[in-house]
Protein backbone atom coordinates (compact mmCIF):
# COMPACT_ATOMS: atom_id res chain seq x y z
CA UNK A 1 0.00 0.00 0.00
CA UNK A 2 1.20 3.50 -0.78
CA UNK A 3 0.71 5.61 2.37
CA UNK A 4 0.85 9.40 2.48
CA UNK A 5 2.80 9.79 -0.76
CA UNK A 6 4.76 12.99 -1.28
CA UNK A 7 2.54 15.15 -3.55
CA UNK A 8 5.66 16.80 -5.00
CA UNK A 9 6.60 13.53 -6.76
CA UNK A 10 4.70 11.67 -9.47
CA UNK A 11 4.59 7.98 -8.55
CA UNK A 12 6.50 5.64 -10.84
CA UNK A 13 3.68 3.19 -11.54
CA UNK A 14 5.97 1.05 -13.72
CA UNK A 15 7.61 -0.12 -10.47
CA UNK A 16 4.24 -1.28 -9.16
CA UNK A 17 2.44 -2.83 -12.11
CA UNK A 18 3.79 -5.77 -14.09
CA UNK A 19 2.68 -4.18 -17.36
CA UNK A 20 2.30 -0.41 -17.38
CA UNK A 21 0.93 -0.41 -20.94
CA UNK A 22 -2.39 -1.85 -19.73
CA UNK A 23 -5.39 0.47 -19.29
CA UNK A 24 -5.40 2.27 -15.93
CA UNK A 25 -8.60 2.82 -13.91
CA UNK A 26 -8.80 4.72 -10.61
CA UNK A 27 -11.53 4.67 -7.97
CA UNK A 28 -11.65 7.75 -5.75
CA UNK A 29 -12.99 7.05 -2.24
CA UNK A 30 -13.06 3.25 -2.45
CA UNK A 31 -14.25 2.64 1.11
CA UNK A 32 -13.73 -1.04 1.97
CA UNK A 33 -13.11 -1.79 -1.71
CA UNK A 34 -15.86 -4.19 -2.75
CA UNK A 35 -16.21 -2.47 -6.14
CA UNK A 36 -12.52 -2.07 -7.08
CA UNK A 37 -11.46 -5.54 -5.89
CA UNK A 38 -14.30 -7.12 -7.92
CA UNK A 39 -13.26 -5.08 -10.97
CA UNK A 40 -9.61 -6.11 -10.55
CA UNK A 41 -10.64 -9.75 -10.31
CA UNK A 42 -12.94 -9.51 -13.34
CA UNK A 43 -10.46 -7.64 -15.56
CA UNK A 44 -6.91 -8.99 -15.00
CA UNK A 45 -5.85 -7.31 -18.26
CA UNK A 46 -6.25 -3.83 -16.70
CA UNK A 47 -4.46 -1.96 -13.90
CA UNK A 48 -6.47 -0.48 -11.01
CA UNK A 49 -5.75 2.00 -8.21
CA UNK A 50 -7.94 2.45 -5.12
CA UNK A 51 -7.51 5.95 -3.66
CA UNK A 52 -8.90 6.13 -0.13
CA UNK A 53 -8.50 8.71 2.63
CA UNK A 54 -9.15 6.47 5.63
CA UNK A 55 -6.38 4.17 6.83
CA UNK A 56 -8.73 1.50 8.22
CA UNK A 57 -10.70 1.26 4.96
CA UNK A 58 -7.49 1.19 2.89
CA UNK A 59 -6.22 -1.62 5.13
CA UNK A 60 -9.37 -3.66 4.43
CA UNK A 61 -8.81 -3.26 0.67
CA UNK A 62 -5.20 -4.38 1.15
CA UNK A 63 -6.33 -7.51 2.99
CA UNK A 64 -8.68 -8.43 0.09
CA UNK A 65 -5.94 -7.72 -2.44
CA UNK A 66 -3.58 -10.10 -0.65
CA UNK A 67 -6.22 -12.80 -0.11
CA UNK A 68 -7.28 -12.72 -3.77
CA UNK A 69 -3.73 -12.15 -5.08
CA UNK A 70 -4.77 -9.11 -7.10
CA UNK A 71 -1.42 -8.03 -8.58
CA UNK A 72 -3.21 -5.61 -10.90
CA UNK A 73 -4.57 -3.53 -7.96
CA UNK A 74 -2.62 -0.88 -6.04
CA UNK A 75 -3.96 0.92 -2.98
CA UNK A 76 -3.15 4.50 -2.03
CA UNK A 77 -4.04 6.02 1.32
CA UNK A 78 -4.16 9.63 0.20
CA UNK A 79 -6.41 12.63 -0.46
CA UNK A 80 -8.02 12.88 -3.91
CA UNK A 81 -7.29 16.61 -3.77
CA UNK A 82 -3.73 15.61 -4.80
CA UNK A 83 -4.76 13.16 -7.54
CA UNK A 84 -3.05 15.21 -10.25
CA UNK A 85 0.21 14.99 -8.30
CA UNK A 86 0.18 11.18 -8.13
CA UNK A 87 -0.61 10.36 -11.74
CA UNK A 88 0.99 11.57 -14.94
CA UNK A 89 -0.96 13.82 -17.29
CA UNK A 90 -3.20 11.81 -19.67
CA UNK A 91 -2.46 8.49 -17.97
CA UNK A 92 -5.84 7.10 -16.83
CA UNK A 93 -8.65 5.58 -18.89
CA UNK A 94 -11.36 5.86 -16.23
CA UNK A 95 -12.03 7.49 -12.88
CA UNK A 96 -14.84 6.10 -10.73
CA UNK A 97 -16.63 8.08 -8.02
CA UNK A 98 -18.94 5.80 -6.06
CA UNK A 99 -21.27 7.07 -3.34
CA UNK A 100 -19.05 10.04 -2.61
CA UNK A 101 -19.73 11.94 0.61
CA UNK A 102 -22.56 14.39 -0.24
CA UNK A 103 -21.41 17.40 1.85
CA UNK A 104 -24.95 18.89 1.68
CA UNK A 105 -24.15 22.27 3.29
CA UNK A 106 -23.36 24.88 0.65
CA UNK A 107 -20.37 26.09 2.65
CA UNK A 108 -18.85 22.63 2.10
CA UNK A 109 -19.40 22.62 -1.67
CA UNK A 110 -15.65 22.65 -2.38
CA UNK A 111 -15.29 19.28 -0.62
CA UNK A 112 -17.68 17.49 -3.00
CA UNK A 113 -15.71 15.23 -5.32
CA UNK A 114 -17.63 16.63 -8.31
CA UNK A 115 -16.73 20.26 -7.49
CA UNK A 116 -15.00 22.07 -10.36
CA UNK A 117 -11.53 22.01 -8.75
CA UNK A 118 -11.71 18.18 -8.61
CA UNK A 119 -13.02 18.02 -12.19
CA UNK A 120 -10.03 20.06 -13.31
CA UNK A 121 -7.69 17.50 -11.74
CA UNK A 122 -9.55 14.50 -13.17
CA UNK A 123 -9.31 16.13 -16.62
CA UNK A 124 -5.52 16.42 -16.24
CA UNK A 125 -5.13 12.77 -15.22
CA UNK A 126 -7.57 11.25 -17.73
CA UNK A 127 -6.55 10.48 -21.29
CA UNK A 128 -8.42 12.25 -24.11
CA UNK A 129 -11.72 10.37 -24.33
CA UNK A 130 -11.21 9.03 -20.76
CA UNK A 131 -14.41 8.46 -18.80
CA UNK A 132 -15.67 9.69 -15.42
CA UNK A 133 -18.22 7.26 -13.95
CA UNK A 134 -20.28 8.36 -10.96
CA UNK A 135 -22.91 6.54 -8.87
CA UNK A 136 -24.84 7.72 -5.82
CA UNK A 137 -28.11 7.21 -3.94
CA UNK A 138 -28.15 10.90 -3.02
CA UNK A 139 -30.48 12.88 -5.32
CA UNK A 140 -29.09 16.22 -4.10
CA UNK A 141 -25.50 15.26 -4.89
CA UNK A 142 -26.58 13.78 -8.23
CA UNK A 143 -28.42 16.98 -9.26
CA UNK A 144 -25.46 19.07 -8.13
CA UNK A 145 -23.02 16.85 -10.05
CA UNK A 146 -25.07 17.01 -13.28
CA UNK A 147 -24.93 20.80 -13.05
CA UNK A 148 -21.26 20.93 -12.12
CA UNK A 149 -20.17 18.57 -14.93
CA UNK A 150 -22.41 20.38 -17.42
CA UNK A 151 -20.96 23.77 -16.38
CA UNK A 152 -17.51 22.27 -16.94
CA UNK A 153 -18.51 21.46 -20.51
CA UNK A 154 -18.54 17.69 -20.06
CA UNK A 155 -20.43 15.41 -22.43
CA UNK A 156 -22.76 12.77 -20.97
CA UNK A 157 -22.62 9.27 -22.47
CA UNK A 158 -25.03 7.72 -19.98
CA UNK A 159 -27.42 9.03 -17.31
CA UNK A 160 -29.75 6.92 -15.18
CA UNK A 161 -32.07 7.83 -12.33
CA UNK A 162 -32.69 4.15 -11.57
CA UNK A 163 -29.61 2.13 -12.50
CA UNK A 164 -30.89 -1.13 -11.02
CA UNK A 165 -33.95 -1.06 -13.31
CA UNK A 166 -32.15 -0.31 -16.57
CA UNK A 167 -31.91 -2.86 -19.42
CA UNK A 168 -30.65 -6.32 -18.41
CA UNK A 169 -27.16 -5.93 -19.93
CA UNK A 170 -26.56 -2.71 -17.97
CA UNK A 171 -27.76 -4.26 -14.70
CA UNK A 172 -25.69 -7.42 -15.30
CA UNK A 173 -22.51 -5.41 -15.96
CA UNK A 174 -22.96 -3.24 -12.88
CA UNK A 175 -20.66 -3.99 -9.94
CA UNK A 176 -22.21 -3.04 -6.62
CA UNK A 177 -20.28 -1.11 -4.00
CA UNK A 178 -20.87 -1.64 -0.25
CA UNK A 179 -23.01 1.50 -0.02
CA UNK A 180 -24.90 0.64 -3.18
CA UNK A 181 -25.78 -2.79 -1.83
CA UNK A 182 -27.02 -1.27 1.42
CA UNK A 183 -29.14 1.47 -0.16
CA UNK A 184 -30.50 -0.61 -3.04
CA UNK A 185 -31.58 -3.32 -0.56
CA UNK A 186 -33.77 -0.68 1.11
CA UNK A 187 -35.39 0.03 -2.29
CA UNK A 188 -33.63 3.37 -2.87
CA UNK A 189 -33.02 4.26 -6.55
CA UNK A 190 -29.39 4.45 -7.63
CA UNK A 191 -28.39 7.38 -9.83
CA UNK A 192 -25.52 7.02 -12.29
CA UNK A 193 -23.73 8.90 -15.04
CA UNK A 194 -20.79 8.45 -17.41
CA UNK A 195 -19.22 11.61 -18.80
CA UNK A 196 -16.24 12.76 -20.87
CA UNK A 197 -14.28 15.98 -20.89
CA UNK A 198 -14.28 18.00 -24.12
CA UNK A 199 -10.95 17.73 -25.90
N1 LIG B 1 -17.19 3.97 -2.52
C2 LIG B 1 -17.53 3.25 -1.33
C3 LIG B 1 -18.91 2.64 -1.49
O4 LIG B 1 -19.64 3.06 -2.41
O5 LIG B 1 -19.27 1.75 -0.71
C6 LIG B 1 -17.46 4.12 -0.07
C7 LIG B 1 -18.39 5.28 -0.02
S8 LIG B 1 -18.14 6.30 1.41
C9 LIG B 1 -19.62 7.20 1.56
C10 LIG B 1 -17.04 7.55 0.80
C11 LIG B 1 -15.58 7.18 0.89
O12 LIG B 1 -14.79 8.18 0.25
C13 LIG B 1 -15.06 7.06 2.32
O14 LIG B 1 -14.37 5.85 2.48
C15 LIG B 1 -14.10 8.26 2.45
O16 LIG B 1 -13.02 8.02 3.32
C17 LIG B 1 -13.64 8.44 1.02
N18 LIG B 1 -13.21 9.82 0.71
C19 LIG B 1 -13.90 10.95 0.97
N20 LIG B 1 -13.21 12.02 0.56
C21 LIG B 1 -12.06 11.55 0.00
C22 LIG B 1 -10.93 12.18 -0.59
N23 LIG B 1 -10.85 13.51 -0.69
N24 LIG B 1 -9.92 11.40 -1.04
C25 LIG B 1 -10.00 10.03 -0.93
N26 LIG B 1 -11.05 9.39 -0.37
C27 LIG B 1 -12.06 10.14 0.09
| Per-residue pLDDT tens digits for 45-81 | 999 999 999 999 999 999 999 999 999 999 999 999 9
Has residue 67 been placed in a domain? yes
Has residue 174 been placed in a domain? yes
Binding residue numbers for S-adenosyl-L-methionine: 27, 52, 79, 101
Pocket test for ligand 1, best of 3, 28, 29, 104 (most atoms within 8 A of CB): 29
CA of 93 to the centre of ligand 1 (A): 20
Q: Is the pLDDT of residue 9 over 90?
A: no
Which of 6, 101, 157, 168 is catalytic? The answer is 101
Ligand 1 atom closest to Cα of 135? 4
Range of the domain at 107: 2-8+21-196
Has residue 15 been placed in a domain? no
Has residue 159 been placed in a domain? yes
Mean pLDDT of 18-45: 97
First CA to last CA across the chain, in angstroms?
Answer: 33
Has residue 13 been placed in a domain? no
**Which residue CA neighbors atom 27 of ligand 1 most closely?**
29
Q: Answer yes or no: pTM beyond 0.95.
A: yes
Order of strands, edge to edge, in the sheet holding 24-28? Answer: 2-3, 73-77, 47-52, 24-28, 92-98, 126-136, 191-196, 155-160
Number of domains the chain contains:
1
Q: Is the pLDDT of residue 125 over 90?
A: yes
101 is catalytic: yes
Has residue 112 been placed in a domain? yes
**Which residue CA neighbors atom 2 of ligand 1 most closely?**
31
Q: Which residues line the pocket of ligand 1, CB cutoff 6 A? A: 28-31, 51-54, 57, 79-81, 98-101, 177-180
CA–CA gap between residue 173 and residue 39 (Å, rounded): 11
Has residue 16 been placed in a domain? no
Has residue 89 been placed in a domain? yes
Instruction: Name the pLDDT band for 21 (thresholds 50, 70, 90).
Output: very high
CATH of the domain at 69: 3.40.50.150
Amino acid sequence: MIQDPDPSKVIDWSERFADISRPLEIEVGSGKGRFITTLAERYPEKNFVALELQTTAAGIILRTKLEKKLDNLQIMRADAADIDAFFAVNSADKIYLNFSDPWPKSRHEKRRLTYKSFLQKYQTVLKDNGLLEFKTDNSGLFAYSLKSLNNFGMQFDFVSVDLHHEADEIVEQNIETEYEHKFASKGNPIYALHAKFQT
